[in-house]
Structure 1
Amino acid sequence: MLRTYTIAFHGAEAAPVEVQCAMAPGIPGFSIVGLPDKTVTEARERVRAALSAMRIALPSQRITINLSPADMPKAGSHYDLPIALAILAALKVIPADVAEENTSMGELSLDGKLVPVAGALPAAFCAAEERRGLLCAEETAPEAAWVDAARVIGARSLAELVRHLTGAVPILPATAGMLSPRVDSRDLRDVKGQERAKRVLEIAAAGRHHLLMIGTPGAGKSMLSSRMPGLLPDLTPMEALETSMIHSVSGLLKGGGICRDRPFREPHHTASKAAIAGGGRAALPGEISLAHNGVLFMDELPEFAPAVLETLRQPMESGEVTVSRANAHVHYPCKFLMIAAANPCRCGYLSDANRACSQAPKCSEKYLARISGPMLDRFDLRIEIPAVAHCDLTMPPSGDTSVDVRQRVTAARNRQAERYAEIEGVSLNADIQGDLLDEVAEPDAEGRDLLLLAADRFKLSARGYHRILRVARTIADLEASDAIHRDHIAEALSYRISALRG
């Protein structure tokens, strides 16, 4: 029996799979066992054609390929290459010890070319943990080379890879893809007016607080939201790794480089639950996981199906989503900053008596009621975006640039990182809860009295009470203040009860 190795994906991670090949006398046949799906079983024909293109015929024997462990589901076309290498090792075309020293992944075309597949980055991590090299398509090698470039080999075809493994024509190790410089084409300074909204964006960016904006069409909600990535600092090395692993599994990494800028995802309101939360036949990550460590912008929030919005409630709290299937439970991280925008009613002109529909103001209550109370309760910041005055539109750009705001946001995040350095699972103020919240977000006497008075008057929920404390802690961090004062609580309250109460 000859063997080589590949991987099986479990969420954003990869697990090692041993590919065993046995050839025995009997009726000629080619079977693949070990819980393969339809794509894996079809590898028989692709491998047979690829070997034929190399003038290699399968022997008149019974060929059995076992994918071990046999109780782990196997899916994907990346099993083509390891199956072909196991057969070539059994035929003594390539050395058996060389086949066992490498993990391989790649789809084979009928003429023997290697087709790139998603997931090279987690595959490289798995291979490195098993102390093996990685063999893959040339296009995905720069991505995998970020892990261990010296042991990543990218080839254009199966024949080229065979020549390398036999020592006839060695292939140079891959080189990690280049990181492109950060380009911020959308500057906050381009937004005219809306000074209150700009302030809220800064607070949301500093503490990763979810934000809901309600305003008339054309007020600038989408324009403001698109500026959020420019206010956020670059991904830390650990964040870049987490984000790139998810994007690699989804096939979104291009050019061999890992994620450097924070992702900005803006799904359409027709998106399904599986598209937002993750799922499908292969339990792939959804938009909330693709927005991990970045921004999820949901425009026209009430237009999303209520069932889709309800799936967001738990991930917004926990920062993790579980995609459950009959044979597996896949976990994806999803610590994202959610920015939602909505019109005050379906026509959008509730505050303008000349343009509002005949059903105002009942149309607003009915329209916004599509967003449930528990969902609204998870937004730390809620503001009304008024229409921009015409005189503001004629004024030249003014105010802070995105770079100016990003510097303040970075300083505030550094304070939080230092404060929570020894606490696992907590990096920003949005993550704190329980005893830690009481410890780091305790306001002074005047601030506490104001918060208790507001909580009683506006009937704040316990979640709303705690979220005000978190926002106040972030406002204090932006001012480099260790203590939370009354004015910090007052500002946090104004963002909680201004648009919708509770």
Structure 2
Amino acid sequence: MLARVLSGAVLGIDAYLVTVEADVASGLPAFTTVGLPQGAVKEGRERVIAGVQNSGYLVPPKRITVNLAPADIAKSGSAFDLPIAMGILAGTGQMRAIRRLERYLLLGEMALDGALRPVRGALPIAIAAKNAGLAGIILPEENVAEAAVVDGLEVRGARTLKEVIGFLEESAELPVAQIDREALFRTATAYGADFADVKGQEHVKRALEVAAAGAHNILMVGPPGSGKTMLAQRIPGILPPLTFDEALETTKIHSVAGLIGGGKSLIVGRPFRNPHTTISDAGLIGGGSNPRPGEVSLAHNGVLFLDELAEFRRNVLEVMRQPLEDSRVTISRAAISLTYPSRFMLVGAMNPCPCGFHGDTQRRCTCGPLAVQKYLGRVSGPLLDRIDLHVEVPAVRYRDLASGRPGEPSDRIRERVARAREIQRERFAGRPDIHANAHMMPADLDRFCQVGAGSDALLRTAIARLGLSARAYHRIIKIARTISDLDGGGEITTAHIGEAIQYRSLDRGAQAAAPAA
């Protein structure tokens, strides 16, 4: 007898429906799974047999063939255990009624005792189920909160295989999960780290405010203990809140990566990712034998903080060029090509030399000029060009440390940043590909960033004296546009250009020291 059960699988950060066909026929006992099953899907045969039998049902000694359609896409993961088990039970006539089976998508890993365990990608699969017009989705309880953010879909959680069978036979009920989205977003307004804790460094705080207002990348260079990491950790607290669409897209990425668990639901706070310097290029950009999102995608709509930037391997840093420019990562394999979104704000921090005290007025640097040049050269000129703001972070002065006055709190800075972002949303209302000033293409500058004669002369002189590239020229105009937005969004003045230029002057020495790439 043939039975069909609907399930789903993830491709990139989106999902597609998979029809699990289970055929139980006479012949020599066998259990075969086809449809390009990989790894955990093949091993699922043993989990399904044990789980079904330990739940009080029978896997008959017959020829069982399971097909996962479409059969030309490789299937991985353990989420097909539950639909395969239901297909076998329906195909062997052990279920009294299966009318509900056609209206629900099933998903879940099975333990050997029939208990259901959480799986990856519940949110994108729930979205696919809704788009297909299904009544609902049945999945492990731990995944319920994640999938329940999808409106118009019945999300029912189960703890065991027997509970699912009872619901499908209409002899028991599984509750429909409900999520209060507004309550979730209200919890996102509380931030643990506040800029009020940071003493001194007012010019660095200003640079971070400009970076946050325009979603610009920023590099902080200074000696150890100057507060670079402390400042970076507080950036999410001054970024505007996520919109629902941004939260949904961010949660999909984390769901596919398996980072949504413990009953967690929608990610409503800006991500902050801080990978270690030993990370590989695949870990940063994504990939692997079964491709997964990397850190640049996990930081989508948030902050990617690379501390000790010069200590990362050169090849690891260079793979960031494409996501920094295109806001997406394309991973190509022989059988498939996947694209992950990666629109993030890059925040880098590094010492100015190997010992860390080059240019420090209080401690003596022990590095020679060649050592300083070699250290700065670890970060290539093309990568520095893609970082909009470069700011020096000097050692904190004693009078700032001893001062009892708290700094400006993050919520005030966030208000100014949110107003500037609102100006940008209105400006780019007809351009869904532009989310902030940093995302403008060179062709957009003539339309949105017109510079007066006086400002143009200042900019031309600075470009000539600093020897900046064409990309750096575009970065300066974008930064000036953001500074103007913080002032209300009027015309770009000479003062705005002047402030923008000072955030690029640091890369003159670094670019000269860096070898060509």
TM-score range, shorter-chain basis? over 0.9
Structure 2 match to 1:54: 55
Q: After the TM superposition, which residues 87-126 of structure 1 pair with which residues of structure 2 at under 5 Å, given as runs?
A: 87-94=88-95, 95-126=97-128
Structure 2 match to 1:184: 191
* Mapped partners of 1:364, 1:432: distance in 2: 34
Match of 2:241 among 220, 234, 237: 234
Deviation (angstroms), 1:352: 4.3
Q: Aligned pair in 2 of structure 1 residues 170, 481: CA closer, same or farther (>3 Å)?
A: closer
Q: Aligned pair in 2 of structure 1 residues 401, 75: CA closer, same or farther (>3 Å)?
A: same
* Mapped partners of 2:172, 2:102: distance in 1: 20
Deviation (angstroms), 1:329: 1.1
* Mapped partners of 2:507, 2:442: distance in 1: 27
Letter in 2 for 1:159: K
Structure 2 match to 1:314: 322
Match of 2:333 among 300, 316, 325: 325
* Mapped partners of 1:207, 1:57: distance in 2: 61
Deviation (angstroms), 1:71: 0.5
Is contact 1:150-1:173 (8 Å) kept? no
Question: Superposition RMSD on alpha carbons, in Å?
Answer: 1.5
Is contact 1:121-1:248 (8 Å) kept? yes
* Mapped partners of 1:286, 1:458: distance in 2: 35
* Mapped partners of 1:225, 1:358: distance in 2: 27
* Mapped partners of 1:354, 1:287: distance in 2: 37
* Mapped partners of 1:468, 1:150: distance in 2: 47
Is 1:270 matched with 2:278? yes
Deviation (angstroms), 1:434: 3.1
SS in 2 for 1:146: coil
Letter in 2 for 1:142: A
Deviation (angstroms), 1:401: 1.1
Deviation (angstroms), 1:42: 0.9
* Mapped partners of 2:400, 2:58: distance in 1: 76
* Mapped partners of 2:489, 2:109: distance in 1: 56
Is contact 1:86-1:99 (8 Å) kept? no
Is 1:82 matched with 2:83? yes
Q: TM-score, normalised by structure 2?
A: 0.94
Deviation (angstroms), 1:460: 1.5
1:291-321 Cα distance to aligned partner (Å, 9 max, x none): 0000000000000000000011110111000
| Unmatched tracts of structure 1, length 5 or more | none
* Mapped partners of 1:278, 1:363: distance in 2: 33
Is contact 1:191-1:397 (8 Å) kept? no
* Mapped partners of 1:195, 1:285: distance in 2: 36
Deviation (angstroms), 1:397: 3.0
* Mapped partners of 1:354, 1:405: distance in 2: 31
Q: After the TM superposition, which residues 356-367 of structure 1 pair with which residues of structure 2 at under 5 Å, given as runs?
A: 356=364, 358-367=366-375
Identity %: 46
Structure 1 match to 2:379: 371
Letter in 2 for 1:215: G
SS in 2 for 1:140: helix
Deviation (angstroms), 1:149: 6.8
Deviation (angstroms), 1:357: 5.1
Deviation (angstroms), 1:21: 1.0
Q: Aligned pair in 2 of structure 1 residues 346, 460: CA closer, same or farther (>3 Å)?
A: same
Structure 1 match to 2:515: none
Is 1:201 matched with 2:208? yes
SS in 1 for 2:23: strand
* Mapped partners of 2:405, 2:169: distance in 1: 64
Is contact 2:25-2:64 (8 Å) kept? yes
SS in 2 for 1:77: coil
* Mapped partners of 2:409, 2:51: distance in 1: 56
1:240-270 Cα distance to aligned partner (Å, 9 max, x none): 1110110111122243320111001100101
* Mapped partners of 1:54, 1:188: distance in 2: 55
* Mapped partners of 2:45, 2:21: distance in 1: 14
Deviation (angstroms), 1:416: 0.2
Is 1:169 matched with 2:169? no
Is contact 1:141-1:175 (8 Å) kept? no
Structure 2 match to 1:439: 447
Structure 1 match to 2:217: 210
Deviation (angstroms), 1:38: 1.9
* Mapped partners of 1:282, 1:141: distance in 2: 25
1:463-488 Cα distance to aligned partner (Å, 9 max, x none): 11111110000000000132111111
Q: After the TM superposition, which residues 122-161 of structure 1 pair with which residues of structure 2 at under 5 Å, given as runs?
A: 122-132=124-134, 133-148=136-151, 151-161=154-164
Letter in 1 for 2:393: I
Runs of 4 or more off by more than 6 Å in structure 1? none
SS in 2 for 1:135: strand
* Mapped partners of 2:416, 2:171: distance in 1: 57
Is 1:299 matched with 2:307? yes
* Mapped partners of 1:355, 1:482: distance in 2: 44
SS in 1 for 2:491: coil
Letter in 2 for 1:276: L
Is contact 1:412-1:477 (8 Å) kept? yes
Deviation (angstroms), 1:354: 7.9
Structure 2 match to 1:462: 470
Structure 2 match to 1:475: 483
Q: Aligned pair in 2 of structure 1 residues 362, 397: CA closer, same or farther (>3 Å)?
A: farther
* Mapped partners of 1:394, 1:353: distance in 2: 19
* Mapped partners of 1:314, 1:181: distance in 2: 31
Q: After the TM superposition, which residues 370-409 of structure 1 pair with which residues of structure 2 at under 5 Å, given as runs?
A: 370-409=378-417
* Mapped partners of 1:55, 1:214: distance in 2: 65
* Mapped partners of 1:434, 1:363: distance in 2: 36
Structure 2 match to 1:427: 435
Question: Which stretch has the larger CA shift, 451-460 or 123-132?
Answer: 451-460
SS in 2 for 1:78: coil
Is contact 1:33-1:66 (8 Å) kept? yes
Deviation (angstroms), 1:281: 2.2
Question: Which stretch has the larger CA shift, 45-54 or 147-156?
Answer: 147-156
SS in 2 for 1:17: strand
Deviation (angstroms), 1:356: 4.1
SS in 1 for 2:347: strand
Letter in 2 for 1:168: S
* Mapped partners of 2:319, 2:397: distance in 1: 38
Match of 2:502 among 491, 494, 501: 494
| Unmatched tracts of structure 2, length 5 or more | 512-517
Deviation (angstroms), 1:175: 2.3
Is contact 2:236-2:270 (8 Å) kept? yes
Is contact 2:466-2:508 (8 Å) kept? no
Letter in 1 for 2:289: R
Is contact 2:82-2:106 (8 Å) kept? yes
Is contact 2:117-2:140 (8 Å) kept? yes
Is 1:410 matched with 2:418? yes
* Mapped partners of 1:63, 1:5: distance in 2: 18
